[in-house]
Every structure is written in C-alpha cells, then in structure tokens.
Amino acid sequence: MGLLKNSLLLQDATAQAAAAAAGVGRRGVATSTEEYMRRNYANNVSEYNTVIGSLVQQRRHVQPPYLLRDAYDDMLLDGVQPVRDTFHNLIVGTMKGSRLQDAFYFRDQMREMGLQPDVNLYNFLISTCGKCKNSDAAILLLEEMKAHGVKLKGETYICLLNALAATGRTDQVYAIVRDMTAAGLGLNKFCYAGLITAFKNKTPASEDTPAKILEFVQQSKGWQYVERVANDSAENIMMNVSEEELYNLPTAEFAHRRGFIFKQLTIYHVAIHACADLGSKETLEALLDMFTKENFNYDAFIVMQAVRCYLRCGDIDSAVKMFEEFSSLKPTPAELYVTLAEGAMIGYTPRGMEVAQATLEKMTERKFFLNPKMGTDLLLAASGEKTGGYTTANYIWDMLQTRNIIPALPAVEAYYKGLKEREIPSDDPRLVNVARVLDNLQLRLGPRRNFQ
C-alpha cells in the first residue's frame, strides 16, 4: 500500500509539484485526520497528475523510478480515480526509467478502469520494450493493437523498427520496412538509424555490418518524410519526449542540451556510435571522410564517439588529436573530457594513464566538475589499474571528495580493493576515509543493491 515518507506542506502549485516530487515515499494507513492533512501532498486527480508529472521530469539519478508506483498507490489509497492523462504520465515515466514491468502494470490498471490505450500510449510502451531490449514484447504489443483496432501511425512503425533493432532482429526490422512501404510510408532518418542499429546489435556479428553501415548512411541522404497527421507529435512535445528518446537513439540523453548535437546529423550520430561500439576504426574513418565531403561541422557527440572509437582501437594519438582540434574551436563539454580520460585508461598503458591524468587536470583547470555518474564511471575504470602508483584513481577520488560527492558502491568497493592491494599502512588517512565511506554505503545500500 502507498505510504508517505516525510511531511509535505505545499504552498502553491509550483512549489507543490517540486516538494511532492522530492517527498513521495510510503504513507501509513492508520493516521489521524490532522496528521493526514499535515502529511498529504495531493488531494485530487489534478494535484496527483501534477506530482506524477514532476516525478517524470526528474532526471533518473535524482528520483528513483519506483516512486511512480508509490505515488500511484497513494492515489488509490486516497480514493482518487486516475484518468487517462494520469496513465499517460505514468507510462512515459516508466519509459524514461526503462521500467517495462511497471509499464505493463499501468497498462493493465488502465484497462481495469475501462480505459483503452490509444496509439500514442502504445508508442510509449513499444519504446519501453526497445529500451529494455525486449523485442518479443514489442511484437505482442503490435498484435494487441491490431486486435483492438488501434490504427498504427508513422511513429508507431518507427518505434517498432527501433525496438526490434535493439536486439539485432534484422529480419523483423526488414519486415517492418516492408509494412511501411505497403502502407505508403517512406523511410526517414530514424528508420535508417534503426537499420544501422539492428546490424550493429546482430548476433552473431555479421561480416558485412561495416559495409551495411556505410550503405545505409548513403541511402539516408535521399530520405523521404514519413507522412503523418499534423498533431502526431503534439503529445510527445507536451510530455517533453524528444524523437531521439522515443526511438531510443544514442543521442537521447543529449537531445535537450543546447548545442551538444546538431539534429540534422542524426544518421552520422548513430553510425559513428555504432563504429565505437564495434571498434571499427576503418569504418569510422570512411564515415568521417563522407562527413567532411558534405561540408558538415562536428558537434560534441560526433567527436565524443569518434574519440571513443579510436581509444577502443588503441589509437590514443588520433583520439587526442581529434579532441584537441575540437577543443581549440568550440566550447568542450565535460562529457568529452570524461570520454577521453576513461577511454585512455583501457589496457592501463603508461601512455594511456598519462593522457587520462592530463585530461583530468585540464578539467580541474577549466573549473569542470564531475557529477556522480561521471565520477563513478571514471573511478571504476581507474581502480582497475594493477601496477603503478594509483595516481589517477586517487586524483579522481580527491576530485569527488572536494565536492562532497560519493560515487556508487561498486566504484568505492573497487577503489578500496585497489588501495588494499598496495603497501599502504592500515592507519593511512586515505584508506581510513575510503573504508568509512564504504562501510556507510554498505550499511545504507547493501540490502538494496539489486533493487529495481
């Protein structure tokens, strides 16, 4: 049953949403009227929709996604009847948090209340299947739509295509393309992005994947606009869902970052990201050559993925060169520094560790700070160094400590293990501090490490 964690007294609508998003928890059933009023954070469907909408818009690492279930339980406990907008908010939230089980739970709850999911909601559900790499569930949703007479839109086909691409189901992806053609729909850049992703994820890996990537990039240059009703994307805009997020593109988390990506380069974003995942330097350089011939300018994402590819292929010098050329022309986001530093640590070569250390020092000089996710990723990577003075790992830890940021438990465990493997006195201040942080994390998070 839904319960509340802390008191939430909300003075106005804006403050109400923010405070409720921060305080939704678990609420006891046996509560006096006065105590209930003091603790209650929503009293009607409009207020609950505002709270749920605020939770949905929180960044994932800020608000645990399970709070949506808590808010919904509280809503039912209060005897407030959810409406269609409530379920749309909830399902968008599960999509953003990659919570497939919760998505289907809310769909079932919706039906129990006599509300039939519409095509937009099915699009969100299918997108969630893609995020969770469950193509079978996406196919079942397609059959369900047909059984209930829900007409597919252009967006639906593209959601399906990209959901199937997430598991490398090239045969089924091609089947969706044929269905689109039969329905009189052309392929747009998001379709070609899905085709590239499908071949990248295909298992076992196909030898013709690099050639297919280049082929699809070439074909995409004559892409046709997928016909759609004028208001097809209206709900996505209202829900603050970008096309990149809906179709599970690798640029999704940067879509709302001003200047980070140039949206006209979508096909190159996906293709170069695929090269980085596959570690295909030859394909990368063929794409960069095509890119240059079209007189495009690099955006941060293109450079970030090219750097990642070079580093995965062991070409540190090319990665550094690309990073420095971009940095000399444009403002460089923190993510690019982190990509170079983390990738340079692959293999823990002397040259790579030197580049990683220098890159982190440049970050500090330029007043860039690590957020918890960046710090966790970097510390986890640096803690794998078995020889040397552990300089980079120590530097990352100090960067985080300066801003009172505690990385995730796996990173702290790895760092502590690395320290213990070295000849450090048991009363060393650094070792004592890390041990204390680790004990606190294990005490607080230990029982919930595998919680989702």
Question: What secondary structure, in 3-state letters, does the chain show?
Answer: CCECCCCCCCCCHHHHHHHHHHHCCECCCCCCHHHHHHHCCCCCHHHHHHHHHHHHHCCCCCCCCCHHHHHHHHHHHCCCCCCHHHHHHHHHHHHHCCCHHHHHHHHHHHHHCCCCCCHHHHHHHHHHHHHCCCHHHHHHHHHHHHHCCCCCCHHHHHHHHHHHHCCCCHHHHHHHHHHHHHCCCCCCHHHHHHHHHHHHHCCCCCCCHHHHHHHHHHHHCCCCCCCCCCCCCHHHHHCCCCHHHHCCCCCHHHCCCCCCCCHHHHHHHHHHHHHHHHCCHHHHHHHHHHHHHCCCCCCHHHHHHHHHHHHHCCCHHHHHHHHHHHHCCCCCCHHHHHHHHHHHCHHHCHHHHHHHHHHHHHHHHCCCCCCHHHHHHHHHHHCCCCCCCCHHHHHHHHHHHHCCCCCCHHHHHHHHHHHHCCCCCCCCHHHHHHHHHHHHHHHHHHHHCCCC
Q: What is the spatial distance between Cα 397 and Cα 415, in angstroms, rounded to a whole number?
A: 9
Alpha carbons 446 and 451: distance in angstroms, whole number = 10
CA-CA distances (angstroms) from residue 15 to 25, 51, 65? Answer: 17, 10, 21
Q: Which residues, 6+ apart, have CB-to-CB distance to 120 below 8 Å?
A: 88, 235, 236
- pLDDT, tens only, 379-437: 999 999 999 889 999 999 999 999 999 999 999 999 999 999 998 999 999 999 999 99
pLDDT of residue 392: 97
Which of 162, 153, 143, 127 shows the shortest CA–CA distance to 234?
153
Q: What is the pLDDT of residue 27?
A: 55
Distance between CA atoms of residues 279 and 449, nearest Å: 32
Strand partners, 3: 26
Pick from 236, 264, 268: which is nearest to 250 by CA? 268
| Contact indicator for 147, 117 with CB cutoff of 8 Å | no
Asked if residues 299 and 262 have their Cβ atoms less than 8 Å apart, the reply is: yes
Mean pLDDT, consecutive 10-residue stretches, the chain (452 aa), reads 34 44 51 60 90 80 68 93 95 92 96 95 96 96 96 95 96 96 92 97 93 96 52 61 94 91 95 97 97 95 98 98 95 96 97 97 94 96 94 97 95 96 93 96 68 34
Residue 55 dihedral angles phi and psi, to the nearest 5°: -60, -40
Phi, psi of 88 (to 5 degrees): -65, -45
pLDDT score at 63: 52
Rounded Cα gap, residues 179 and 203, in angstroms: 24
